[in-house]
A = this chain, B = another copy of it.
Amino acid sequence: MSSDGDSPVTLHDVAREAGVSLATASRSLNGSARTVNEAYKERVLAAAALLNYTPNLSAQATAKGSTTTVVLLVSDIADPYFSSIAAGVMRAADDAGLVVTIAATGRDSGRELTLVRAMRGQRPRVMILAGSRATDDPLHDRLTAELQAFEKTGGRVSLISGNDLPFATVLLDNRAGATRLAESLVGLGYRRFAALSGPRSIGAVIDRLTGFLDGLARHGVILPDERIVETDFTRDGGYLGMQSLIAAGLGETELVFAVNDVMAVGAMSALRDAGLVPGVDVAIAGYDDIQTARDIIPALTSVRIPLEEVGRRALELALGTGESEGGSIPVPAEVIVRASTPHV
């Protein structure tokens, strides 16, 4: 452990090795406005390579007053919805020479607020919040204030969800998507529905649910409130929700709409565990079109959101790259009918 105490190579070391001033070394290694004599520059580069120098990003940040960091807040990175978005953000960040810090809120708005504050300490260039929240959340105003303060000091914020907060957002039109899904299902002949809802405090849940009800209503179909089970917005939530639906008696129910795919997947498992066959005894539809929707049997009818693209756009929107008009950019939702909702 005696070799443990070395300190990293500094720019100063490089300058000394190259026999130039600190300033020249700095200018040679970064794309400074000032140009540097080729011979010097090469010597600096050689010295840097020799010493295996890596610029201290923190020091650069304090000196420049700006970082190269993007903060991404997700509910849960293990959820395929968020990990796909994260992949898109990371790819775009990479293209822009930025580095991504990710933290998980666990869908807790208190934690989300805490994280936003903590992450502000990084003075990131951009802060992206994925996952919608409740407009009536008691912390709503404080979160807004925090984010506004961040913007006031030069940071950029972008959201992925409904436009529940006054910031640039990649707008997922959950409501319209769900409406179209409902209409497609009615078109397939379905009339008797039930729904597996997540917590109503989540904006996306409300939008998908009301959108779905709207779509049914347009065709005179009613989904009574007691056929809507509110449960966790997760795979296990879907499983448990379906169990309670089964326990209460599926009755005439022809199709169960789960407000997201992971819930739908859980619901299918619950059906099977109860001896029922999804797509045969009861049809299932979800939302998001995660990869698994295509791989399970029966393949899941869903509404496609181009998740990775959404992530990329969220960063571009914040950066002002891409064709963003500055406000919010809508992302189309596409209904994909698969075997889980056969024609009746």
Are B103 and A101 closer than 8 Å at their CB atoms?
Answer: no
B-contact 0/1 string along A152-172, CB 8 Å cutoff: 111000000000000000000
Residues of B within 8 A of A79 (CB): 83
Q: How many Å lie between the Cα of A3 and that of B104 in the bound state?
A: 31
Q: Does A113 sit within 8 A of B, measured CB to CB?
A: no
Question: Is B80 in contact with A154, judged by CB distance below 8 angstroms?
Answer: no
Copies in the complex: 2
Given A83-B78, A104-B87, A291-B235, A62 contacting B56 (CB threshold 8 A):
yes
Q: Flag if A62 contacts B58 (CB, 8 Å).
A: yes
A90 at the interface (CB under 8 A from B): yes
The answer to the question of A295 belonging to the interface, with a C-beta cut-off of 8 Å to chain B, is yes
Confirm or deny: A301 has a beta carbon within 8 angstroms of a beta carbon on chain B. Answer: no
A78 to B67, CA, bound (A): 26
Instruction: Name the segment of A32-40, A131-139, A264-272 touching the other chain.
Output: A264-272
Q: Which of A100-137 contact B (CB under 8 A)?
A: 100-104, 117-123
- Contact bitstring A1-26, B, C-beta under 8 A = 1, else 0: 00111111000000000000000000
Would you mind naming 26 contact pairs between A and B with Cβ atoms under 8 Å apart?
A: A3-B152, A6-B152, A6-B154, A7-B153, A7-B154, A8-B153, A52-B146, A54-B117, A54-B121, A56-B62, A56-B121, A57-B121, A58-B122, A77-B87, A78-B80, A78-B84, A78-B86, A80-B83, A90-B103, A91-B104, A99-B122, A265-B295, A268-B295, A269-B294, A292-B292, A296-B296
For the complex with contacts A83-B86, A269-B294, 16 further pairs of A-B residues with Cβ separation under 8 Å are: A4-B154, A6-B153, A6-B154, A52-B149, A58-B58, A58-B59, A58-B62, A78-B84, A78-B87, A79-B83, A90-B103, A90-B104, A99-B122, A100-B102, A101-B102, A265-B295
